[in-house]
Amino acid sequence: MPTQQLPPLGHNPSSRAQGTTPGSFANAPQLGGPRSFSSPDAPGMPEPSEKTAWDFLPRGWRRDAASGFASAPAGFEPSTQLEFARLGVITPEMRRVAEREAHLTPEQVRDEVAAGRMVIPANKVHLGYGLDPMAIGRASKTKVNANMGASPISSSTDEEVEKLRWAERWQADTVMDLSTGGNLDATREAIVQHATVPIGTVPIYSMIIGRKIEELDERMILDGLEHQAKQGVDYMTVHAGVLHEHLPFVRSRLIGIVSRGGSLLAKWMITHGKQNPMYTLWDEICEILRRYDVTFSIGDGLRPGGLADATDAAQLAELETLGELTERAWQHGVQVMVEGPGHVPFDQIEYNMKLQRRLCHGAPFYVLGPLVTDMFPGYDHITSAIGATAAAYHGAAMLCYVTPKEHLGLPKKDDVKQGCVAYKIAAHAADVALGIPGARDRDDELTKARAALNWERHFELSFDPDLARAYHDEDLDVDTDFCAMCGHDWCSVRISKEIEQFVSGKDERYAWSSPKLSAALTAEQKQVLEKRGVLSPGEIHRLATKTREKVGADAGHKAACHSDLASDEQAHVIQGE
Ligand code: SF4
């Protein structure tokens, strides 16, 4: 037996306790506390805040020590999920979240929302259009946002709705409409009405269409926010944390301010010599968002735009202000999440996540990437997915995807897919590592199918079955006990299967006597291969059929491509040898 001492174990990553690995090496889950699912702290990391949203109740509210819930002044009508949760009410949206997060009860969802550690972005108007409520928070699974939006250069409303459907197809948990061109109002309206996922926006974009940023005034800001809230937007990025006094910190940066909202508001402040109007109007903005139950996504206008600018004075000063704004929004009963960077060297990610947990008292952290290197344009869905995995493991609750087009152009349909897939991988990898119950079940099922060389099940369990099948069938469109990578004689899985005691093989109905022609290479799968640009359609066809002849078992005879299953007795003999 190995003599190594394992680190302290948290939770079993597979609720069915399959396989041989121990539980997750993350902390044991502390649901109901600031370390619900958390990574062990590296030395020097900030401790979680001792405060929660309970410490920032609106004036006139009291928390009852016995029940743990609050009471509001007479005549008060709750409007937001946070207010209902504080009053001890479980809403239909909380119940739906508990259905979707099998490891949480409706009571746990309510309690996390009441503590401010979880948000349910569900504008009442959008609920009327068919929004399927979901939650963002440390106690729930890590979520992924996909950005889209028409630009002045490219795209239209129809295309954006098509991209929304596409992002939902690739399992984005929320979608942000970041349109800066075309008919913004019609595009937003169409997206909200078609979306079953929450929709986020950055309202300042539409406020400056047809005018210069310098012309923006308080009325335009409040009207613009109210208009979008009325349309059903579920969460809004408001860059209220960029303060006039933070701007000098930006001078020493390599790339200044890279947030669109942050740079626009900086220009406004410099032109007018005044404080950020989003900051000075914060209480009025909170009241608008509260009426519709729009969740804040408090923007990080000073996020770093390159590794060299990460964790600098500008970013950290703004983060402190984001903490203050979180407290004030909670005092208005508004749900809050906080946005984060950006471009961060891998070693600084944990600190950034844990500092936010402290300064913003556990409000869900919604991060963009972060990219862990700057020199791979065209591959930033990969550079950022690496950072995103670390971010989610160390504390982020939602990851904003980055596509291969980042820094280069407007994402098209396939870029949306690549971004979604990269980020679903990042989020899922973190959930497995954190030991979220059940998170690893599908991985384990796929491993079993892989061990059994059960290709149909292997494809079925894949995140992208068409791609997996097409890649397999590019070389072998026959159901063999090996694939084209190693071939029959070198297939370790096939050999393992022969020396295993148990029949890990195909399902019970599997006909061992003949090779099975795969059902693959549908038109869609052919397209997958054609898009790779490696092979012509003719070559694909030729490759996909060639192996039928090679394995060539006549009907009624056992195909040479199949493993010989050993009985228990034979296996013992082989293992003994
Ligand atoms: S041939 Fe190689 S890659 Fe393919 S199933 Fe066997 S071991 Fe895996």
How many angstroms separate the alpha carbon of residue 364 from the centre of ligand 1?
42
Q: Whose CA is nearest to atom 6 of ligand 1?
A: 491
Measured in Å, residue 472 CA sits from the centre of ligand 1 at 11
In the reported structure, the alpha carbon of residue 486 is separated from the centroid of ligand 1 by a whole-number distance in angstroms of 5
- pLDDT bin (cut points 50, 70, 90) of residue 493 is confident
Least confident span in 23-32, 198-207, 318-327, 528-537? 528-537
What distance in angstroms lies between residue 502's CA and the mean position of ligand 1's atoms? 19
In angstroms, rounded to a whole number, what is the distance separating the alpha carbons of residues 573 and 342?
Answer: 58
| 474 alpha carbon – ligand 1 mean position (Å) | 15
pLDDT for the residue 540 = 53
- Using CA atoms, how far apart are residues 313 and 252, in angstroms rounded to an integer? 10
Between the CA of 475 and the centroid of ligand 1 the distance, in Å, is: 13
pTM of the complete model: 0.89
Distance 570 CA to ligand 1 centre (A): 23
Of residues 386 and 179, which shows the higher confidence score? Answer: 386
Closest by CA position to 339, among listed 428, 239, 479, 472: 239
- Pocket perturbation via mutation, ligand 1, pick of 458, 478, 479, 483 by most ligand atoms within 8 A of CB: 483
> HEC profile for 41-82?
CCCCCCCCCCCCHHHHCCCCCEECCCCCCEECCCCCCCCCHH
| Dist. CA 278–CA 311, nearest whole Å | 23
Predicted pLDDT at 77: 97
Residue owning the nearest CA to atom 3 of ligand 1: 485
Distance 485 CA to ligand 1 centre (A): 6
Only one residue has tokens 């986020």, namely 200
In this structure, the residue with its CA closest to atom 4 of ligand 1 is 483
Distance (angstroms) between ligand 1 centre and the Cα of 487 equals 7
Q: What is the pLDDT of residue 297?
A: 98
Lowest mean pLDDT among 169-183, 184-198, 358-372, 487-501: 487-501
Tell me, in angstroms, the distance from the centre of ligand 1 to residue 574's CA: 21
Residue 120 CA, chain-centre distance (Å), reads 15
Pocket probe mutation, ligand 1, options 454, 486, 488, 562, max atoms within 8 Å of Cβ = 486
Say yes or no to pLDDT of 325 above 80: yes
* Nearest-10 crossing angle of helices 282-292, 313-331: 60
**Model confidence band, residue 152 (pLDDT cutoffs 50, 70, 90):** confident
Predicted local confidence at residue 504, as pLDDT: 44
Cα 544 to chain center, whole Å? 36
Which strand (E) or helix (H) includes residue 270?
helix 260-272
Q: What is the 3-state secondary structure (H, E, C) of 161-188?
A: HHHHHHHHHCCCCEEEECCCCCCHHHHH
The ligand 1 atom at the shortest distance from the C-alpha of residue 488 is 1
Ligand 1 pocket, residues with Cβ under 6 angstroms: 482-483, 485-486, 491-494
Alpha-carbon distance of 146 to 167, in angstroms, equals 7
| 483 Cα nearest atom in ligand 1 | 4
Tokens of 340: 């984060």
Give the start-to-end residue ranges of the domains of the chain: 53-434, 442-576
Sign of CA dihedral 546, 547, 552, 554: negative
Best mutation site among 458, 473, 491 for ligand 1 pocket (most ligand atoms within 8 Å of CB): 491
The residue to mutate among 447, 482, 562, having the most atoms of ligand 1 within 8 angstroms of its beta carbon, is: 482
pLDDT at 556: 47
Give the closest residue to 426 by CA, choosing from 391, 461, 465: 391
Number of H helices, E strands in the chain: 22, 14
Q: Are strands 516-517 and 478-479 parallel, antiparallel or unpaired?
A: antiparallel
| pLDDT for position 573 | 58
Q: Is residue 515 pLDDT above 70, yes or no?
A: no
Alpha carbon of 394 to ligand 1 centroid (Å): 34
Cα atoms in the Cβ-side hemisphere of radius 13 Å centred on 252: 11
Q: How much of the chain exceeds pLDDT 90, in percent?
A: 68
Compare 521 and 90 and report the one with higher pLDDT.
90
Dihedral angle computed from the Cα positions of residues 353, 354, 360 and 361, in that order, rounded to the nearest 10 degrees: 140
Q: Which atom of ligand 1 is nearest to the CA of 491?
A: 6
Cβ(512)–Cβ(562) under 8 Å?
yes
Q: Which of 455, 492, 494, 504 to mutate to test the pocket of ligand 1 (most atoms within 8 A of CB)?
A: 492
Residue 491 has pLDDT above 80, yes or no: yes
Q: What is the mean pLDDT of residues 151-164?
A: 81
With a cut of 50, say whether residue 555 has pLDDT above it: no
What pLDDT is stored for residue 554 in this prediction?
46
Residue partners of 534: CB distance under 8 A and separation at least 6: none
Pairing of strands 365-368, 143-148: unpaired
Closest residue to atom 7 of ligand 1, CA basis? 491
Query: What architecture (CATH level 2) is domain 53-434?
Result: Alpha-Beta Barrel (3.20)
DSSP lists the bridge partners of residue 12 as none
Given ligand 1 and candidates 446, 485, 495, 551, which is best to mutate, with the most ligand atoms within 8 Å of its CB?
Answer: 485
Q: Which two tokens stand for residue 452?
A: 């059994």
